[in-house]
Amino acid sequence: IDQGFMIGVNQVGDAFSCGDAFLPELVMAGEAMKAAIEVLEPELARRGTQREILGKAVIATVEGDIHDIGKTLVGTMLSAAGFEVYDLGVDVPVSQIIDKAVEVNADLIGVSALLTTTMVKQREVVQAVRESSLSDKVKVMVGGAPVTPDWVAEIGADGYSEDAIGATAVAKELVGKKSA
């Protein structure tokens, strides 16, 4: 995924940002990436041999943002690692994320944002958790291409990873299970 698909999809993204490619190409790149990951998904899931439930994770792409490939990949990896994952999809309002976390008694909330304009919603999720009954229990992990360690520190999130494999290790640490 990292050494093949990501290189391809990033090339289209770069071409889009400098005006050499247009929205149809961006859409096609997204569809190709999804189709390619679908082929690998059963194998990714199969490799998650660990059966102990490590915790419950609610994941979503923030409101205003419809990029779902990275978030879904993180969800697949978390499930394979032993988390019970509730994937709320894309364009998800903060209140819906909080309500789901309360409903399922989550240990972890994971929010993805791919746009600089939607990253601010990650801050709102952190604030909403801190102001809710979840504050003592639930950790917030953020991710997505524009997310940096500086941003994570600024919004006070508990964890961050730049890719899906790292996200599993961070999630395990956040819920108090040492990473394998």
> Which residues bind to ligand B1M, rule: CB under 6 A?
9-10, 12-14, 16-17, 23, 26-27, 29-30, 33, 64-71, 73-74, 110-112, 114-116, 141-146, 161, 163-164, 167
CA geometry: angle 158, 164, 165, nearest 5 deg: 95
The distance of closest approach from Cβ of residue 52 to ligand B1M in the complex, given in angstroms and rounded to an integer, is: 21
Is 102 or 145 the residue whose CB approaches ligand B1M more closely?
145
> Minimal distance in Å, beta carbon 156 to ligand B1M?
15
Q: Provide, rounded to whole angstroms, the least separation between the CB of residue 42 and ligand B1M.
A: 18
Q: Looking at beta carbons only, is 102 or 165 nearer to ligand B1M?
A: 165
Residue nearest to ligand B1M (CB): 70
Amino acid at the residue 2: D
* C-alpha–C-alpha distance, residues 94 and 142, integer Å: 13
Q: Give the separation between CA 113 and CA 97, rounded to whole angstroms.
A: 14
In the complex with ligand B1M, the residue whose CB is nearer, 71 or 172, is 71
- Of 51, 83, 62, 97, the C-alpha closest to 164 is 83
Distance CA 148, CA 143 (A): 8
